[in-house]
Amino acid sequence: MKKHLLAVAIATLAAGSAMAQANDTLAKIKSSGSVTLGVRESSGALAYTLGDGKYVGFHTEMAENIVKDLQKQLALSKVDVKYQPVTSQNRIPLVVNGTVDLECGSTTNDL
């Protein structure tokens, strides 16, 4: 029973932390008027660069559509989109530390 309660407590804290981080990110986007997207430079047809700072592919388009929705939800007339190249190894840490606001990709975070 104690293990069950401990697991519930840990899950509750993790969920609360994730919600606080999400709210902080939304507040940051609203106050700055910009969002930084984590993008892959080569991930097959799902995401890649055309060079010269242009990124395309399903993952990039998905993130850009989310930004459009955020712009409406946050009542911003414009949102500047910045692109930050990420790798499989650094994308989770860059989201966690706030360097990247959003990363849409085939991402897993496991041991």
Report the alpha-carbon distance of residue 16 to residue 50 in Å, rounded: 39
Q: How buried is residue 6: exposed, middle or buried, by Cβ count under 10 Å (0-12/13-18/19+)?
A: exposed
User: Higher pLDDT residue, 108 or 21?
Assistant: 108
Give the model's pLDDT for residue 74: 93
- Please give the share of the chain, as a percent, with pLDDT higher than 90: 37
Beta bridge mates, 80: 34
Average pLDDT over residues 50-79: 90
Window from 11-15, 31-35, 56-60 with minimum mean pLDDT? 11-15
Cα Rg of the chain (Å, integer): 16
Which tops the pLDDT comparison, 106 or 64?
A: 64
Q: What is the pTM of this model?
A: 0.72
**pLDDT over 70 at 55, yes or no:** yes
